[in-house]
């Protein structure tokens, strides 16, 4: 049983997935914060590799990526950070990256280096499954999952391909747009998740726009996991660790409350 399977094998448990940009606001902060996020109930950690043109990211994550790049945080540094984190946490570590850094390094080498650093999976927003066969093969040989993203406007055939070709879990984007904390989630989110449920039994995690316990509860009632990113990065920018971890505790409690009510 791999690390993803262990997360989703817990009966009734709702996974809390946390995104951080590597090197923002500093590499030291990344190394200090990630283990604390896991201690406070995060089940999976997404490590964002800073990129110059993050098309799926809103203003908060674009700024984080830009400032990390200014500090010299390149893919080599990201592999080093992952390797330092791996002995400190049991949670799955996922690289969120755009395809260009993978292509520049070479798909086989990227997968090999990621596995050596303890990475469990990749999320690559600009790489559709129809074009990922080679990377899937390299990742499979190294034991690294390729996690695909689906949007509310994804047709059924795309959902089927992503479910059949990917592994780990499916990343459901709550809305058609970019990342960012929002005051409300789409009214038709339940319909989108239900449509994917009819096609695949694979674990479903929902991200984009989730920033409050009430939003997390709504998502947890229909999905297997909740992904938080922009609000978390905002709190890291503020530099108040107590406030950040208190917010994580609130999100964890919201998910646990839903799990308890379903048992």
Structure tokens at 57: 């990211």
Check residue 181 and give its pLDDT.
Answer: 47
What are the domain boundaries of the chain? 13-147+220-253
DSSP track, 56-123: T--HHHHHHHHHHHHTT--HHHHHHHHHHHGGG--S-EEEE--HHHHHHH-HHHHHHHHHHTT--EEE
pLDDT tens column, 122-179: 999 999 999 999 999 999 999 999 999 999 999 999 999 999 999 999 999 987 544 4
pLDDT tens column, 73-100: 999 999 999 999 999 999 999 999 999 9
Alpha-carbon Rg for the chain in angstroms: 17
| Rounded-to-integer distance, Cα 22 and Cα 2, Å | 24
Closest CA to 21 of 45, 47, 43: 47
**For the whole model, what pTM was predicted?**
0.94
Q: Which entry of 32, 39, 46, 126 is annotated as an active-site residue? A: 46
Question: Strand, coil or helix: what is 219?
Answer: helix
Q: Which entry of 43, 57, 113, 136 is annotated as an active-site residue? A: 57
Q: Is residue 46 among the annotated active site residues?
A: yes
Contacts of 202 by beta carbon, 8 Å cutoff, 6+ apart: 163, 166, 169, 170
Structure tokens at 159: 């959902």
Structure tokens at 243: 């406030």
Mean pLDDT, the chain, rounded, equals: 92
Class of domain 13-147+220-253 as given by CATH:
alpha beta
Query: Do residues 230 and 24 touch, judged by C-beta distance below 8 A?
Result: no
**CA geometry: angle at 16 spanning 41 and 52, to 5°?**
115
């Amino acid at each position: 049983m791999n690390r993803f399977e262990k997360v989703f094998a817990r009966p009734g448990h709702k996974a809390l997935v946390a995104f951080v940009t590597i090197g923002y606001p500093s590499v030291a902060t990344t190394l200090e914060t990630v283990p604390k996020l896991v201690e406070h109930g995060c089940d999976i950690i997404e490590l964002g590799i800073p990129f110059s043109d993050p098309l799926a990211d809103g203003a908060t994550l674009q700024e984080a990526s830009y400032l990390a790049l200014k500090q010299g945080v390149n893919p080599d540094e990201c592999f080093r950070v992952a390797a330092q984190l791996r002995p400190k946490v049991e949670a799955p570590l996922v690289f969120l990256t755009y395809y260009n850094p993978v292509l520049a390094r070479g798909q086989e080498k990227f997968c090999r280096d990621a596995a050596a650093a303890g990475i469990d999976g990749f999320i690559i927003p600009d790489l559709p499954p129809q074009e990922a066969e080679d990377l899937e093969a390299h990742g499979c040989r190294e034991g690294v999952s390729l996690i695909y993203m689906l949007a509310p406007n994804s047709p059924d055939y795309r959902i089927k391909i992503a479910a059949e070709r990917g592994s780990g879990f499916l990343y459901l984007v709550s809305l058609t747009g970019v990342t960012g904390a929002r005051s409300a989630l789409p009214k038709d989110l339940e319909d989108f998740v239900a449509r994917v449920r009819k096609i695949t039994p694979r674990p479903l995690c929902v991200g984009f726009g989730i920033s409050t316990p009430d939003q997390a509860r709504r998502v947890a009632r229909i999905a297997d996991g909740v992904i938080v990113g922009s609000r978390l990065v905002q709190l890291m920018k503020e530099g108040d660790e107590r406030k950040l971890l208190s917010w994580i505790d609130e999100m964890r409690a919201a998910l646990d409350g839903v799990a308890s009510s379903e048992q």
